Amino acid sequence: MIDAAINRRQFLRLTGTAAIACAGAGWLSQLARPAPAAPRSGPGWREAEYYYKLDGGRIQCTLCPCSYPRGQLDDGQTCVCHVRTNVAGKLYVTNYGRASSLHLDPIEKNPSYHFLPGAQALAVSAPGCTLGCKCCQNWQMSQARTDDIRTIDAPPQELVRRALAERRRAITYTYTDAAAFFEYARDTAKLARSRGLANTMVTGGYINSEPLKELCRYMDAFSISVKGFTEDYYRDYCRGQLSTVLEAMKTVRAQGRWLEVVVLVIPTLSDDMGKIKWFAAWVRDNLGLDTPVHFSRFWPAYLLRNLPQTPISALEQARAIARAEGLRFVYIGNLPGHEAANTYCPRCKKALLRRVGFRVIENNLIGGSCRFCGAGIPGRWA
């Protein structure tokens, strides 16, 4: 029982004093506690490639044109990709040999529609991503540090051994961006290639030219995902730059690797048909008429759950525009059963590869040519 009531002024004074005292005590305890030592090793830790040292223990990462203060990391700092850390002037990756998921997937899931159709691949991912897309479907893995999520110990030798044991024809680096696990993907791809396996990479294309060229030495096919058509969009929604992605596509093409372009059509953000037209023309002029383009349906996820799914009509319209620009292989993705998932012969217009979901239910290609009219279809078919 309180003997005497206090007035409002006294109450405010008392609570204010108490709050200041608490805050002060917290601050003092922080000062007293020694700074936590950055972990310098652990499963998945390994010195990174593509960086150089700056003054004062700082380092400059050159894997991607990172938006973190120009890719410069102080001692103890981890980059926004979540997996590259500066420890005492050395850059470490934390996800080497640490798979965040391992699946046996059809290659159509990449999507790779002109590359070994119907082949089964061992799909692997590791934590982290060079981009920070607000629409990410796998954000639990891509926007996490290696220690924050469950990972599987799967060094490159183990992946290749598993792929061979499961009689897979390829290894796919997917789900998160393989650029963020560059060293792991590169070493695995190198070993896989020596054992006769193909390598395919699913990426946002946010990687500098030099490391990308190195990846191109071992990768056979790329699926590069374009999230929007303006620099503003990439800055605001992906923490990246469009120019780097466009450059990456040109690099892959110049290196002679098979490339398929995936365009995510997000209602109100990347569904402007004028910009889609511009992009289709860009693909035609820079990558060629035969580059497959997939317009992919957006499903609300991560930080864009407020937006609806892409209307089918928008996807169909985008496809029509791209075809009108001269592109010969334009697909609609994330709509299992839609006819635009089929590959049609550009000459006789007949269905060559009929797909439902990720399955090829009909294959009318003979040695990479249309069985009806004999027209050659670009891609790697066997």
Partner 1 sequence: MKSKVVVLVLLPCAVVAALTAAHAATLEPQMRTLKSLTAEIGTWNLVDDLNLSPAQMQALLPAAREVRSEHEAIEAEQTRAVAEFDRAIRVLRQELLANSGVSDEAKAGVARAEAGWKELEKKSEERAPEWRRVVQQTLTPEQLQILADYRPGAALGRARRARVGAPGVLARAERLLVRARQATPEQLEQAPQRLRQMLPPGRPRIPAARFRELAGQMLDIVMEARAMSDADFEARKPELAQRLVDLLPQKGAPGARRGRQSTGVDLEKKIGHMLLTPALATVLEAKLAIAQPGAFKPPICYPEDLASLVADVRLLNLVNSLYLSPDQMKALSGIISRAEADRQAARPQTEAVLEDLIALATQVRDELAAGGVSAQTLERVRTEGARGVQEKRAHETRMAQYVAAAKGVLNENQICLVSEFIPCLIPIKNLTNPERIGQAQNTEGAERMLARARAAPEDRVAAMMPGAQARLEALLRHKRLPAAEIEARLAELPRVVADARAMSDAEFELKKTELVKRVAPPEPAPVQGAALDHRIAEYLLSANLLPIFEQRIGAQGVASR
Q: How many residues bind partner 1 (CB under 8 A)?
A: 38
Applying the rule CB under 8 A, the residues between 76 and 115 that interact with partner 1 are 99, 101-104
- In the list 154, 197, 261, 327, the residue contacting partner 1 (rule: CB under 8 A) is 154
Instruction: Work out which of 334, 352, 365, 370 binds partner 1, going by CB under 8 A.
Output: 334
Closer residue to partner 1, CB minimum distance, 30 or 306: 306
Indicate which single residue of 249, 263, 264, 341 sits in contact with partner 1 (rule: CB under 8 A).
Answer: 341
Do strands 120-125 and 198-203 pair parallel, antiparallel, or not at all (unpaired)?
unpaired
> Binding of partner 1 at residue 309 (CB under 8 A)?
yes
The least CB distance from residue 309 to partner 1, in Å, is: 6
Q: Which amino acid is at 89?
A: G
Q: Are strands 51-53 and 59-61 parallel, antiparallel or unpaired?
A: antiparallel
Burial state string for 72-107 with b = 16 or more CB within 10 A and e = fewer than 16: bbeeebbbbbbbbbbbeeebbbbbbbbbbbbeebbb
Does 139 engage in binding with partner 1 (CB under 8 A)?
no
Q: Which of 203, 208, 223, 342 binds partner 1 (CB under 8 A)?
A: 342
Q: Is 361 near partner 1 (CB under 8 A)?
A: yes
Exactly one of 47, 148, 153, 285 binds partner 1 (CB under 8 A); that residue is 153
Chain residues 266-285 in contact with partner 1, contact rule CB under 8 A: none
126 binds partner 1 (CB under 8 A): no
Half-sphere CA count of 17, side-chain side, radius 13 A? 6
Phi-psi region of 263 (alpha: psi -120 to 50; beta: other; left: phi over 0): beta
Choose between 308 and 376: whose C-beta lies nearer to partner 1. Answer: 308
Regarding 241 and contact with partner 1 (CB under 8 A), the answer is no
DSSP bridge partners of 259? 222
Residue type, 317: Q
Sign (positive/negative) of CA torsion 272, 275, 279, 284? positive
Residue in 224, 259, 229 with CA at minimum distance from that of residue 241: 229
CA distance 309 to 331: 17
Cβ proximity to partner 1, 29 vs 313, nearer residue? 313
Q: How far apart are CA 369 and CA 127, in angstroms?
A: 40
Applying CB under 8 A, among 190, 235, 323, 354 the residue interacting with partner 1 is 354
Contact residues: partner 1, CB under 8 A: 99, 101-104, 122, 137, 152-154, 158-159, 162, 166, 299-301, 308-309, 311-313, 334-339, 341-342, 354-359, 361-362
